[in-house]
Chain A
Amino acid sequence: GENVEQHPSTLSVQEGDSAVIKCTYSDSASNYFPWYKQELGKRPQLIIDIRSNVGEKKDQRIAVTLNKTAKHFSLHITETQPEDSAVYFCAAYDYKLSFGAGTTVTVRA
């Protein structure tokens, strides 16, 4: 089955700086790669996703890149704000969604 690894497990950044989270996956059949943001005690919320026929996607301050050959994808958050503080999960989908272990992002004011 699919195995998704996510790094780093924690990330502390100064407000206004950029944050980068990286994930690798094992199953070359995976074709959909979403990123979820989860605030404490809440359900995960989809923030951006990318499909295997696309190399990069951007939505305002967040962007995702995908390298199919290397089987890795990354989340980039620019101009970080305090409200970006949360746990972020990457995932990979073949016929079911497998999640990484999560990255706790703290934005310091």
Chain B
Amino acid sequence: DGGITQSPKYLFRKEGQNVTLSCEQNLNHDAMYWYRQDPGQGLRLIYYSQIVNDFQKGDIAEGYSVSREKKESFPLTVTSAQKNPTAFYLCAGSSGRTGELFFGEGSRLTVL
């Protein structure tokens, strides 16, 4: 089995705490992405990375941080600066040339 693996699937956090969502891929994708999805809404881009050691802000980067130290890994940290972090987070990978995204199963974060 393989593809895009996200963990944990469910996560609960107290206000003021940072939390890191893991995203690992074994598809040799150059590009990786983090999207946020709120109930009844579309997918909004948080951060993306097209090569190792480089990443760019998406449309809603405030309160989030990422790293891309390895091609296989693109973790997302939801910081205490994110005012409304409860959401469904989706990681995706792409070969970059075609644009086709392969999504992980998602991580559902709830702030208590």
Contacts and interface: CB of A to CB of B under 8 A. Distances in A.
Contact of A43 (B33, B40, B103): B103
Contact of A102 (B42, B90, B99): B42
A43 B43 CA distance: 11
A43 to B, nearest CB: 4
Interface in B37-52: 40-45, 48, 50
Interface string A29-53: 0011010000000111110010000
Interface in B9-56: 33, 35, 40-45, 48, 50
Given A32-B98, A34-B100, A43-B90, A96 B106 contact: no
A98 B45 CA distance: 8
Interface residues of B, number: 22
A95 B99 CA distance: 8
Contacts of A95: 50
A96 B48 contact: yes
Nearest to B92: A97
B41 A97 contact: no
Nearest to A30: B99
Contacts of B50: 95
B43 A44 contact: yes
Given A43-B105, A43-B106, A99 B100 contact: no
A12 to B, nearest CB: 16
A62 interface: no
Contacts of B48: 96
Interface of B: 33, 35, 40-45, 48, 50, 58-59, 90, 94, 98-101, 103-106
